Amino acid sequence: MILRLALPQETAALAEVEAGQPRAAGWGKQGLDAEIPQPCSRVFCAEENGQILGFLALRAAGGTAEILNVAVDARHCGRGVGRSLLRHALLELGREGVLHVTLEVAQDNVPACALYAKGGFVRLGTRKNFYGPGRHAWVLGADL
Ligand SMILES: CC(C)(COP(=O)(O)OP(=O)(O)OC[C@H]1O[C@@H](n2cnc3c(N)ncnc32)[C@H](O)[C@@H]1OP(=O)(O)O)[C@@H](O)C(=O)NCCC(=O)NCCS
């Protein structure tokens, strides 16, 4: 598996992965096209045999970063792709001097909560109704 920055011409493949995961942020190709050129944006992807297996999008500025969107191809879930993407992103952020990373995750999103907990994230707070009525978010953070 290769972990690297996604290229602007790969947004259709990223969007296809995202479309198969309703709990991802739902940016679609248009959102990804708008995100990748942003100066603070980093969209990392995992590739195997020329196929995009998943991606993790974040923004970094001023020593902090926020993870905004993560999706792994449903056919490749449970084999370490998400963990590898998260580890790679945190390593790259550490290299560029980022000290603190945050994100929001739905409290009932068991796979994502477990992924982040194993990745060293801790609960910083709650955002009530963040994803709609009765659908609360954890605010998670990790120091690098
Ligand atoms: C969350 C997601 C990215 C995990 O990707 P993945 O490649 O399947 O995860 P990995 O195989 O790397 O697993 C890493 C850890 O995540 C957790 N995890 C993954 N799938 C899980 C599941 N179905 N149930 C519980 N925990 C799970 C485990 O802690 C696992 O560690 P372990 O294998 O040592 O137990 C993937 O399920 C996904 O795309 N979900 C939909 C989109 C989403 O929720 N995005 C996050 C929004 S904030």
| CA 136 to the chain's CA centroid | 18
- Length of the chain counted residue by residue: 144
Atom of ligand 1 nearest to the CA of 84: 12
**Distance between CA 86 and CA 67 in Å, rounded?**
9
Phi, psi values for residue 77, rounded to 5° = -70, 155
Residue percentage of the chain with pLDDT more than 90: 100
Report which protein residue has its CA nearest ligand 1's atom 36: 72
What would the pLDDT profile of 65-117 be if each residue is shown by its tens digit? 999 999 999 999 999 999 999 999 999 999 999 999 999 999 999 999 999 99
Instruction: Please name each of the domains of the chain with its CATH number.
Output: 2-143 (3.40.630.30)
Q: What pLDDT is recorded for position 38?
A: 96
What would the pLDDT profile of 109-125 be if each residue is shown by its tens digit? 999 999 999 999 999 99
Report which protein residue has its CA nearest ligand 1's atom 19: 111
What would the pLDDT profile of 48-60 be if each residue is shown by its tens digit? 999 999 999 999 9
